[in-house]
Homo-oligomer: A and B are copies of this chain.
């Protein structure tokens, strides 16, 4: 019996899903890469991803492959773009649907899966040249992230439940690659009403301890309902 047992009247491209996972470590934005253990591009770094099965959507595939290849689970991913250049995979015609997410690195322990020699967070400045067309995919994902964070308060999910204003500012500066005026940043964020100041201060800091804040989820859902206008 032949091993190619799935037969179609017309040829079909293979379909994959890839995950571009941005991770904030409290200081920098990182990107999650796996080192390929098999050809093509064996030894090169790439985004986790793999072939879509018949019983799963591309989104489910992305989540499954992410888990299999890196150990990460429970991530909310969002569709980024579909890449379908004819020659993007040297083996054969492969179309990939790319997803992205933003997480905090400390929430996950990385475990390399079967097809991957290695899994690692890379600082954005230190990203090596990637397999396939993943350099292109990365640029597009990074731009999307920059756009998204200005209009949606996703930033808060990257910090601990209690966090400080300087931490939040660092996060935004790290993603957007710009600097904010500390006073204006504070004014604007406090004016949203989404941050509740606590009567606690950060511990174990070398100098004056900043106040802790928490994200006000109740206020956020109110804002969402009443036609929402968050913007940094």
Q: What residues of chain A have their CB less than 8 Å away from a CB belonging to chain B?
A: 2-15, 51-52, 54-59, 79, 81-82, 84-86, 93, 95, 97
Docked pose: A57 CA to B8 CA in angstroms: 20
Docked pose: A97 CA to B3 CA in angstroms: 30
Docked pose: A14 CA to B85 CA in angstroms: 17
Q: Are A97 and B84 in contact (CB under 8 A)?
A: yes
Q: Are B15 and A10 in contact (CB under 8 A)?
A: no
Q: Which one, B3, B9, B13, contacts A52 given CB within 8 A?
A: B13
Q: Which B residues touch A54, using CB under 8 A?
A: 11, 13, 86, 93
Q: Are A9 and B13 in contact (CB under 8 A)?
A: no
Q: Which B residues touch A55, using CB under 8 A?
A: 86
Q: Are B15 and A9 in contact (CB under 8 A)?
A: no
Name 15 A/B residue pairs within 8 A (Cβ), A-sorted: A2-B7, A5-B9, A6-B11, A6-B12, A7-B8, A11-B54, A13-B52, A15-B15, A15-B95, A52-B84, A56-B86, A57-B85, A79-B81, A84-B97, A95-B97
Q: Which B residues touch A13, using CB under 8 A?
A: 12, 15, 52, 54
Docked pose: A59 CA to B7 CA in angstroms: 26
Docked pose: A4 CA to B2 CA in angstroms: 14
Q: Which B residues touch A81, using CB under 8 A?
A: 79
Docked pose: A3 CA to B8 CA in angstroms: 8
Q: Which B residues touch A93, using CB under 8 A?
A: 54
Looking at the assembled complex, report how far the CB atom of A11 sits from the nearest CB atom of chain B, in whole angstroms: 5
